[in-house]
Structure formats: C-alpha cells, structure tokens
Amino acid sequence: MNATYLNSAIQLFRMYKQLGEKAIAQVDEKHLWWQANEDSNSIAIIVKHLYGNMLSRWTDFLISDGEKPWRNRDAEFENEVWSKTVLLEKWEHGWDCLFKALNNITETDLDKIIYIRNEGHTALEAINRQIAHYSYHIGQIVYIAKLYSKNEWQRLSIPRNRSIDYNKEKFAKEKELHNFTEDWIEKK
C-alpha cells in the first residue's frame, strides 16, 4: 500500500508541475507580474512562493523542521521582477528538490514523525499537506494565465462540451487499474 501511495503522490506532483508549466507557457513575460490588486499574487509571486516553500519543506525532509531558519517567506510575496528564464529556473530547482526528497523516501519512512513549525506530522501527512498546498497555487496560476490568454487558451483538461465524448472513449475501454494522472502527464 505505501509503495502505491508514494507512486501516486509522485504522479500527482508531476501532474501539477506540468499543469503549471503549460499555463505559464501561455503567458507573455510581461503578464507574469500582473496583480489584480496589492493583496493578490502574480504568477511570478506564486512561483517564488512555491520555490521557497519547496526548498524549505523538502531539504532534509525527514531530519529537520520543514520551516528552515534561512527561509524568508515574507520576501516570497514581494513582486520582484526576474526574467521568465530565471523564474523557470527557480521553478525547476524547487521541483527538483521535491522529487529528490520523494525518491529517497521508503515505505517505512511514511510513518515517521516530521515537523513543520514544530507541529508533528507523519511523513505521509506532510506529503498530503504539500499536495494540497501546491495544487491550490497551481490552480491560481492556471486561472491567472487563462485571464491573459483570452481566446488563445489551450485547454489543460477536458474541453467544455466534450465530456460526453471523453466519457464515451473511456467507457469503450476495458476496466483496468490505472492511475488517472497518466492521462494528464506528458511522457518526456
């Protein structure tokens, strides 16, 4: 069961990473820093926050508190202008840290207690916490990206008015044990 869970968690993280990348790719560089108001986040701010969070949470995942003393969370929400290239390098660096940590976790590690701001979690609970956190922010990135692509948006999920066709295709196949993320993750 735990091996299945770890594989599923890794697949979910990969799916959300690709959703974010596909959304960001559809936004002109100048719009990466757009904010609806001073209390909202731009795509760039969200990427900075995810980057800072990932480095903090996944560095020494099983042996140190997930809120590292060197993290400056408040600075993650400043709309500092980086090039799109630098922004995407930070994005990759954060995700690399996450995947390296997950790839080093064993099934027995999932029951270990780890801490985030001195609050104990099993490793499994901490992974779930991060899946929820990252999917929340990736959804924000997708929404903001859709605002700026207007009619040029390339859909990232089942297109409107295509659910019947999609379901017909799915139900035409034999039942199988299949991780749904495999349909969404591009093979690289």
Write the DSSP string, 104-151: T--GGGGGSEEEETTEEEEHHHHHHHHHHHHHHHHHHHHHHHHHHHGG
Contact predicate 160/46, CB 8 Å: no
Position 17 pLDDT exceeds 70:
yes
As given in the structure block, the two tokens for residue 111 are 């029951």
Tens of pLDDT along 49-61? 999 999 999 999 9
The domain segmentation of the chain, as residue ranges, is 2-183
Report d(CA 124, CA 9) in Å as an integer.
9
pLDDT of 62 reads: 97
User: Percent of the chain having pLDDT more than 90?
Assistant: 69
Contact predicate 55/93, CB 8 Å: yes
Q: What angle do CA 58, 63, 66 make, to 5 degrees?
A: 40
User: Tell me, what amino acid is at 79?
Assistant: N
Report d(CA 14, CA 18) in Å as an integer.
6
pLDDT of 184 reads: 63
Question: Of the candidates 62, 22, 30, 40, which has an alpha carbon nearest to the alpha carbon of residue 142?
Answer: 22
Position 188 pLDDT exceeds 50:
no
Position 11 pLDDT exceeds 80:
yes
What is the pTM (predicted TM-score) of this model? 0.89
Position 187 pLDDT exceeds 70:
no
Contact predicate 136/83, CB 8 Å: no
Position 27 pLDDT exceeds 80:
yes
The more confidently predicted of residues 82 and 18 is 18
φ, ψ of residue 169 in degrees (nearest 5): -65, -45
The more confidently predicted of residues 4 and 165 is 4
Superfamily name and number for 2-183: dinb family like domain (1.20.120.450)
Tens of pLDDT along 97-129? 999 999 999 999 999 999 999 999 999 999 999
pLDDT of 149 reads: 78
